[in-house]
Structure 1
């Protein structure tokens, strides 16, 4: 038997840092918590920072050996 926990949700914030001058994606990070959809531009570094809120949904499964796995079932933008 397994223990299956469904309906898990978590607010997420995707942050992208893109250098407009070079055309290179500098970084991409996902943090727990809320954020507002926003953009910022640093004129000195030419970096464009984009923040996008998401809600992640998932399922957590514990097997008979107490090993756990998590499956992402959906990503939504509010």
Structure 2
């Protein structure tokens, strides 16, 4: 809602009202959209990184618990 700057009354009747215009331009809206997209992208990247690290940790713990099916290499002379 615009802020009222000056009102002119004559005989108790409002005759003129000057209001501050909206200072938003298409450039401001574009910058808002760009910043919002960047913020959402950063949140998604952080979420994916945390999810991947938890998945990797879980898969590594499963590998450690399972018995190895391959034999250890032996030295031959």
Give the TM-score range, shorter chain: under 0.3
The structure where helix makes up a greater share of residues is 2
More strand by share: 1
Higher relative contact order (CA 8 A, sep 6+): 1
Normalised by the size of structure 1, how large is the TM-score?
A: 0.22
Tell me the TM-score normalized by structure 2: 0.22
Bigger Cα Rg: 2
